[in-house]
Amino acid sequence: DQQVKQNSPSLSVQEGRISILNCDYTNSMFDYFLWYKKYPAEGPTFLISISSIKDKNEDGRFTVFLNKSAKHLSLHIVPSQPGDSAVYFCAASATGNQFYFGTGTSLTVIP
């Protein structure tokens, strides 16, 4: 039972444009959400997070939006750069013990 879903396995965006990666979850008890970025043959690296008391968190070119009523979060990257090309995973937790990850979205930024 997939509690965190990333329904788009891939996304292509032109350099300089906005990339929007989406994530849906089913468990209303989740209270902390994270985005990770993964390059081939490497482990995921932490990108940005948001707690359920907020609906937006921004860090440079990266912004995460949380819509609790829709159980939906999104990651916006603007402007997109070729170095952003990677697989992006969203993750959610209710307890801080178990983290549930999505299946990832592969982003390609075209120069």
Partner 1 sequence: GAGVSQSPSNKVTEKGKDVELRCDPISGHTALYWYRQSLGQGLEFLIYFQGNSAPDKSGLPSDRFSAERTGGSVSTLTIQRTQQEDSAVYLCASSRDGSYEQYFGPGTRLTVT
Q: Rule CB under 8 A: which of 39-58 touch partner 1?
A: 41-46, 49
- The nearest distance, CB 103 to partner 1, in angstroms, is 4
Query: Considering only residues 1-20, where is the footprint of partner 1 by CB under 8 A?
Result: 2, 4, 6
Q: List the one residue from 20, 76, 78, 101 that touches partner 1 (CB under 8 A).
A: 101
Binding range to partner 1, per CB under 8 A, among 14-22, 61-69, 71-79, 93-101: 93-101
Query: For 34-56, b where at least 16 C-beta lie within 10 A, e where not — what string?
Result: bbbbbeeeeebeebbebeeeeee
In whole angstroms, the minimum distance from the beta carbon of 110 to partner 1 comes to 24
Specify the length of the chain in residues: 111
Distance from the first to the final alpha carbon of the chain: 38
| Closest to 75 (Cα-Cα) out of 91, 53, 93, 52 | 91
Note whether 106 binds partner 1 by CB under 8 A: no
